[in-house]
Amino acid sequence: MQIIKTVAALEAVSDPTLRPHLERYADLMELAEIFIVEPGDTLATVEHARGWPFEDFEFIHHHETSWFEAVFVLGQDGSGHVVFVPDRPDTDPTLLQLCRANSEPAPFPYAP
Query: pLDDT digits over 51-94, tens only?
Result: 999 999 999 999 988 999 999 999 999 899 999 999 999 999 99
Domain ranges of the chain: 2-105
**110 pLDDT more than 60:** no
In contact, 47 and 72? CB cutoff 8 Å: no
Taking phi over 0 as left and psi of -120 to 50 as alpha, with beta for the rest, 42 belongs to: beta
In contact, 37 and 84? CB cutoff 8 Å: yes
First to last CA, the chain: 24
**112 pLDDT more than 60:** no
Q: How far apart are CA 106 and CA 112, in angstroms?
A: 15
Amino acid letter for position 62:
H
Task: Give the phi and the psi of residue 61 in degrees, each rounded to 5.
Answer: -105, 140
| Residue 109 confidence (pLDDT) | 65
Identify any residues that bridge with 70 across adjacent strands, giving them in sequence order.
60, 83
Angle between helices 93-102 and 43-50 (to 10 degrees): 80
